[in-house]
Structure 1
Amino acid sequence: MFSQRSIRQSFLIQLIISSASLILIFSSFLYFYIEKSIYDEKKAELIGYAKNITDYKSVFQLDELDESIQENFLSLNVEVIYLQKEHPEAEVYEKSEHKRTYLTLIYPFNIHENSYLKMTKEITPTKKLLNKILNYIFIINIAGFILVIIYAVALSKMLVAPVKTLSSRLSNMNEHLMKPIIVEELPQEFEPLGETLNHLISRIQNFVKYQKELFIGTAHELKTPLAVIKLKNQVTLIKKRSPEEYIEALNTTNKTIDEMNIIVSNILNIGRQEGAQLDKPQEVNVIEVLKQKADDFKLLAENEGKKLEIDFKPNAFMATLQVSLLNQIIQNFLQNALKFTPKEKSVLLRSSQDDYGLLIEVIDEGCGIDESVDLFAPFKRQGNKSGVGLGLFLAKSAADALGAVISIKNRADGVEGTVASLQLNSKLSCIIPRN
């Protein structure tokens, strides 16, 4: 029923042991308190009789004469004894004879003569009463222990029930039928788990959606150049042509094959990226990574007649992540920004700290985008520039793997262009204090 790693088993054992210990301790204290109270009462009764005899030469005072006193007096045995040693204080002890229990009091009577009152009272009924109380407490303990076991089992089932419900719902899901978990139906303690699972389901849905689009888009992108190659070859083979014409046809075919190679290379990059997501995260200074990437692209921007500006704040920001994924995102942002930015214009790479973590932005002066189009889907292109349309798809996958948020939108400062941003979560990051 349980395994060695079962939380439910550990919970049951701990709850049963703690509850049993509590019941045992409480019952023991209760019994000892009852026993001490009864014995203290009997001891006080004997001392009262002894004081009456010492003070009034009588077991009880005349105004105390009633049926209960007379009944107690019948079981009382009083005698005077002489001891060699002085016992200035009263002494009480218990003894048993012939299945009967007696309580004996030695009380000073005449200290000068070393005489003492020895008062013996039978307490067999009291002892039987205490034994009955002990038996009842023992029975109550057993009943309470059984109830604790039943309660522990029921409570553990109740706590495990939401997990089983979640497991059942998740096991019945497939890539074609994935519904979010209704968090409101879960216990309050399981709401964070439900939200996390919903986030995971959303990511899986996006992954499946993009994978389908990737496969369909790949087939379409490869089918078109193959059809072009076949058509040109068929046209070339219709009649004899000059060597120059054959060379021109082969060059056209090679150009189309090069375009296909670009598509295949991008698809291979997707596979490499999925492998990079499994790399062990490293603690790196994100600002240093941005500086290195900026140095790489400054020369490229100058060769194209453009300018790359930088503005990094804070001075340093440590994060635990896969550096290759971060490089891929920043590289894609800069490539797109430089591609669509005209000559004599500039691209800004900047970082800033906010309440969420570190915000990295690449701002260009290009033609802008159509924000109604999902640019992160595979083979989505904008503008008149060449490209396969997999760059932002790869960047989005990398950002999801980093637990970061990626977005691309038009500039809102009145200048034409776009703002590509990456928001790193500060939960896995820390800021290095400035010097």
Structure 2
Amino acid sequence: MISKKSIRRNFLIQLIFSSASLILIFSSLLYFYIEKSIYDDKFIELTQYAKNIVNNKSVYQTNEQMISANVFALNVEIVYLKNKNVHTDGYEKTENKHTFLTIIYPYKLADKSYLKITKDITQTKRLLKKILRYIFIINIAGFLLVIIYAITLSKMLVVPIMALSKKLSNMNEHLMKPIKTEELPLEFEPLGETINRLISRIQNFVKYQKELFIGTAHELKTPLAVIKLKNQVTLIKKRSPEEYIEALNVTNRTIDEMNIIVSNILNIGRQEGAQLDKPTEVDVIKILKQKANDFQLLAENEHKKLIIELKPDGYMATLQVSLLNQIIQNFLQNALKFTSKNKVVMLKTSQDDFGLLIEVIDEGCGIDDTVDLFAPFKRQGNKSGVGLGLFLAKSAADALGAKIKIENRKDGIDGTVASVQLNSKLSCIIPQNN
């Protein structure tokens, strides 16, 4: 039993109904055409008989070679009518299971006489009924063939969907393989590509969640071990108040480090909540200008320079602003952290085929291309940090449907280029004022 929600069921109903309607309409038109053609021939035949009689010719003499199949079924009478304007007319009448076709044709208008020619068309009527019966039988057979064809076609159409469903139902977080889109029909390739992108995101999410869990346990285990060891050493013998104070200070510093780790982990939870926020339409360029102005002050305090090159003048996008802020803030913080004094960091935007390209270019020490910097607790260089910033930026970019990338500069200068590309499908350029 096919469910009422089934696409296949709806397709079957629509295909069967439309095909049955088409068969019925075509058959009706065919029958009416055959019937009219036969009756027209009979009227023409009787009219020709009447003309031959009026012109004192043989009843069988005709220019169109029409010869009656049953001459003895023809009955000719002369009738007198009062109406002078009677034209050739015909009607059908049934008596004693016989059908007769009659026409009235002017004979001598002076005495108002007319020819009444009647012919038995019972055989013709039976022939029409037989044709109608055959058409009905053919319609039933055609309707059955349509049902079989519809069932077969609908089954063929849902085969790719069933195959996709079977593959997806057999998947779990440990056995997730991309779907081979080249094996799918052309119409299902976009669906296969979308599922593959979703599978890739799930794989990355599962991978990073595992790394986050393991990394969190490792990061928290180390300071706890330091606290325990310091306390054990302190408790071995009596010490001076200054030594106890120093031990407590070390413990507090370690606890502060643990608080930073916990805060960053809480930020991950807040970000996942932000991904569920309703997107709003905002001017991305305006947001970037505000963020850049804040970081310009920070760069000046650190004796560094932040250059801003934003094009176009405006770019509207529908997104969660908090996620975009998280990405840009992380890029600028890392760029200023790893850039030495008296050097330059650049915030740059441009339009490309994908949408809006946002780049943060620094003059730092560069990165190790062999390391997945977006994994949790991955650190580069000798700067302090938990190693969750880029992990959060990657998660935010995935939620926005954006592309994020970090690579070394290729212009001969040491440093990195951190970029995020916003999808143009949810964006538009603001017209510039001339």
Q: TM-score range by the shorter chain?
A: over 0.9
SS class of match (1:74): helix
Letter in 2 for 1:258: D
Q: Quote the residue 1:41 is aligned against.
A: 41
- Structure 2 SS opposite 1:112: coil
What is the RMSD computed on CA atoms of the aligned residues?
Answer: 1.6
Q: CA deviation at 1:150?
A: 2.2
* Distance across 2 between alignment mates of 1:193 and 1:71: 68
Q: Tell whether 2:63 aligns with 1:59.
A: no
Q: CA deviation at 1:6?
A: 3.0
- What whole-Å deviation, never above 9, does each CA across 1:373-427 have from its counterpart, x for those lacking one? 1111111111110011110011001001100000011111111111100111101
- 2:178 alignment partner in structure 1: 180
Q: How far 1:119 moved relative to its partner? A: 0.6
- The CA distance in 2 between the partners of 1:58 and 1:359, in whole Å, is 98
8 Å CA contact 1:110–1:116 kept in 2: the answer is: yes
Residue 215 of structure 1, CA deviation: 0.8
Shift of 1:92: 1.1
> Aligned ranges for residues 299-318 of structure 1 at < 5 Å?
299-318=297-316
| Change in CA separation of 1:83 and 1:193 when aligned onto 2, cut-off 3 Å | same
Q: 2:22 corresponds to which residue? A: 22
Post-superposition offset of 1:151: 1.9
Matched residue type, 1:76: L
Partner of 2:289: 291
Amino acid at match of 2:177: K
TM alignment of 1:325-404, pairs within 5 A? 325-404=323-402
Gaps of 5+ in 2: none
Match of 2:192 in 1: 194
Compute the displacement of 1:214 (Å). Answer: 0.8
Q: Among 321, 324, 340, which residue is 1:323 paired with?
A: 321
Give the secondary structure class of the aligned counterpart of 1:266.
helix
Structure 1 residue aligned with 2:88: 90
Instruction: Provide the TM-score with structure 2 as the length reference.
Output: 0.97
Q: Which amino acid aligns with 1:408?
A: I
Shift, 1:171, TM fit: 1.2
- Counterpart Cα distance in 1 of 2:78 and 2:35: 29
Partner SS for 1:158: helix
Q: Deviations for 1:35-84, whole angstroms, at most 9, x for unmatched residues?
A: 0111111111111111111113431239999xx94752111011111111
Shift of residue 101 of structure 1?
0.1
Q: Closer, same or farther in 2 for the Cα pair 1:313/1:114, shift >3 Å?
A: same
Q: SS of 1:34's equivalent?
A: helix
Secondary structure at 1:347 match in 2: strand
Under a length normalisation based on structure 1, what TM-score does the superposition of the two structures give? 0.96
TM-fit CA distance, 1:88: 4.6
Query: Structure 1 residues 326, 70: CA separation in 2 closer, same or farther (over 3 Å shift)?
Result: closer
Q: Which residue of structure 2 aligns with residue 123 of structure 1?
A: 121
C-alpha contact (below 8 Å) 1:378/1:393 kept by paired residues: yes
User: Following TM superposition, by how much is the alpha carbon of 1:105 offset from its aligned partner in structure 2, in angstroms?
Assistant: 1.2
Residue aligning to 2:232:
234
Equivalent residue, structure 1, for 2:6: 6
Listed one character per residue, the Cα deviations across residues 165-209 of structure 1 (whole Å, up to 9, x for unaligned) are 211111111111111111122221111101100110011111111
Q: Contact conserved, 2:89 with 2:103, CA < 8 A, in 1? A: yes
1:162 is matched by which residue type in structure 2?
P
Question: For residues 326 and 101 of structure 1, what CA distance do their matches in structure 2 show?
Answer: 88
Among 150, 159, 173, the residue aligned to 1:152? 150
| Distance across 2 between alignment mates of 1:69 and 1:57 | 14
Aligned length: 433
Partner residue of 2:258 out of 253, 257, 260: 260
Which whole-Å CA distance do the structure 1 matches of 2:247 and 2:212 have between them?
30
Q: Return closer, same or farther for 1:87/1:233 CA change in 2, 3 Å cut-off.
A: same
**Which segment is superposed worse, 174-183 or 6-15?**
6-15
What 5-or-longer segments of structure 1 have no aligned partner?
none
For the 8 Å contact 1:87–1:108, the answer to whether it is kept is no
SS state at 1:106 partner: strand
Give the aligned residue type for 2:113. Answer: S
Distance 1:196 1:63 in 2: 75
% identity of equivalent residues: 77
2-structure distance, mates of 1:160, 1:70: 60
CA deviations over 1:215-271 (Å, ceiling 9, x no partner): 111111111111111111111111111110111111111111111111111111111
One-letter amino acid matched to 1:261: N
SS in structure 1 at match of 2:55: helix
